[in-house]
Amino acid sequence: MPGGRERLGVTVDRPFVAVALDGAALGDVDPDDLAVPGCVVAGVATGGPPAALPASPPDLDLLLTDRPDPPAPWVGCADLPAVVGRLEAACRRSPLAATALVELLRFSPRLSVPQALVAESLTYAMLQAGPEHRRWLAGRRRRTRRAPTRPAVRIERRGDELWVMLDRPEVHNAFGAAMRDGLVEALQLAVLDPTLRTVHLTGAGPSFCSGGDLDEFGSVPDPATAHAVRMAAGAAPWLHRCADRVRAEVHGACIGAGLELAALAGAVVAAPDAAFSLPEVGMGLVPGAGGTASLPRRAARQRVAYLALTGEAVGARTAADWGLVDEIVEG
């Protein structure tokens, strides 16, 4: 499609564009013209049975349809116009974060996991200094919590198995610095001791992990230092190094960092009550615990983008259908 950018009418103040992919019009679409820098591009297909969807759709940032149970990489939407409206509104509220997210997702799957983690952290650091995240921080009142009386992570060895439990149930295992450090200690043990056959990663209380501890957001001295800390002390690189032996056993809320880290595990087992979401774009950020490196290796990047841009939660069954979960286990 010559002059694709002009024909789409994309401007610097329009961070979201929806393109109809129905019928004969699909043959006129050149995917290279639709990968627009600084813009989230969604392909939309309506009407007809799921089998009528294009077998090889353009590689856009989102692929949406009103057809039920569509194959990957499509996302089925019962009320497609409403979903498109919510996505456009989300992109207009946080255009810098939204476009940074899809630009990461466009190339991260082609990188190695360590390379993708660096790209994500640099993007996250940039957005930490941006106006959207500053606005989110200004609208949030940070609470003062009492000092912890026990470690944030419990580690127990049972023969050739290591049991690692996130242990802040009173805050649904919100992922803060103490929990990060405890998890890194456990993962370093697993990496350095190959006799550990299985690492069970679990969470105490009603949830596996409710995401980053919001009361710690904005507490680092500057974004450059935050990036350096993530690279030197982050859990994702260590989890990746022993991933084939890690079994993440998730339940309840599996939000943000909880989903991103679990997705790096070789096996993800979910309880039926597990719910998965990525809220970071609404905070003016992108996933920062490894999600743009881990999630597109499990699910289609268009489905990852949908989760991150809408902030909506999906249940265990949908997560399993999308590849985010390997097995659903009762009890």
Residue 35 has a pLDDT of 63
Residue 330 has a pLDDT of 84
Question: Model's pTM, two decimal places?
Answer: 0.91
Q: What angle do CA 272, 277, 281 make, to 5 degrees?
A: 180
- Residue 221 banded pLDDT, cuts 50, 70, 90: confident
Per-domain residue ranges of the chain: 4-93, 97-142+149-328
Question: How confident is the model over 245-254, as pLDDT tens digits?
Answer: 999 999 999 9
- Residue 149 banded pLDDT, cuts 50, 70, 90: confident
Inform me whether the pLDDT recorded for 32 exceeds 80: no
Residues of the chain with pLDDT > 70: what percent? 88
The answer as to CATH 3.40.50.2000 being correct for domain 97-142+149-328 is no
